[in-house]
Amino acid sequence: MKITIDSIHLGAVVTLQPEFFGDHRGFFLESFRMDQMAELGLPSNFVQDNHSGSVKGVTRGLHFQWDPPMSKLMRVTVGEAFLVAVDIRKGSPTLGQWYGEIISAKNKKQIWAPAGFARGFTVLSDWAEIQYKVTGLYNPNAESGILWNDPEIGIEWPVKEPILSEKDVKAQTLSQWLNTPESDNFIYKSDENKF
């Protein structure tokens, strides 16, 4: 079974499509294979696996971590959600641009978003579960967020009245983040591997 690249966005955000086998009994797929990630040029040094469940309308993000830098491989295992990644790398030609896609347990797609991107999602089904592998252990002293509806970014969220945490309501704007010394942890380098 193969995992293939479905599309690439903002030069670094990758939508993956795992091949799966299904019949009247159900389905089987390989959601991650280190050798295939390497063949695709994607990192595979995951150190933590996270799993969240949320009701319809819950919007989480836009979150990121700079120490250690945290990349994410995200998928929806129950229900349907709109997954988003925003480029927050200083000097990037796509700084402040976003990519979003509806990912579901049915389409089985995954989104890879490297460090230097803020990530978030909103739940479209009555209930959804999102699982994501990360390349850095969680560090509450080096994580932050960008305001989900920052007008400078202009994400077209498919929800009118999201359910938000207090932390996400009070998140900074992209401009505020770029004026912090911590933002120097994400500086675009054109000669780096795009992923």
Residue numbers annotated as active site: 63, 132
Two structure tokens written together for 129 = 């579960």
Beta-strand relationship, 26-29 and 110-113: unpaired
CB 64 within 8 A of CB 145: yes
State the DSSP string of 120-177.
Answer: EEEE-SSEEEEEEEESS---GGGEEEB-TT-TTT----S-SS-B--HHHHTPBPHHHH
CB 135 within 8 A of CB 46: yes
CB 88 within 8 A of CB 146: yes
Report the candidate in 123, 44, 113 with the shortest Cα–Cα distance to residue 82.
123
